[in-house]
């Protein structure tokens, strides 16, 4: 899934309310801020070892949202 497709998916789905836990170590207090802070660096550059964790967290969040639909 491309970054723009993933971003569009999040725009078209009902997002859960915060706070929520992505995993035991990652608490999301503001869903919109989480998405913007993760998509912003990914929109402008290729996925690298530096930016890969951002994509990983977005995909994990997508799975979390899908499991609660």
Share of the chain above pLDDT 70, in %: 99
Distances (CA, A) of 7 to 25, 29, 62: 24, 19, 10
Over residues 1-13, the mean pLDDT reads: 93
**Residue 34, pLDDT above cutoff 70:** yes
- Residue 69: pLDDT band (50, 70, 90) is low
Name the H helices within the chain: 3-11, 31-43, 52-67
CB atoms within 10 A of CB 41: 13
């Amino acid at each position: 899934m491309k970054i723009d497709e993933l971003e569009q998916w999040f725009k078209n789905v009902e997002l859960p309310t915060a706070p929520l836990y992505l995993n035991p170590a990652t608490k999301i207090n503001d869903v919109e801020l989480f998405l913007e802070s993760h998509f912003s660096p990914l929109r402008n550059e290729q996925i690298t070892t530096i930016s890969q964790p951002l994509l990983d967290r977005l995909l994990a969040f997508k799975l979390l949202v899908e499991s609660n639909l």
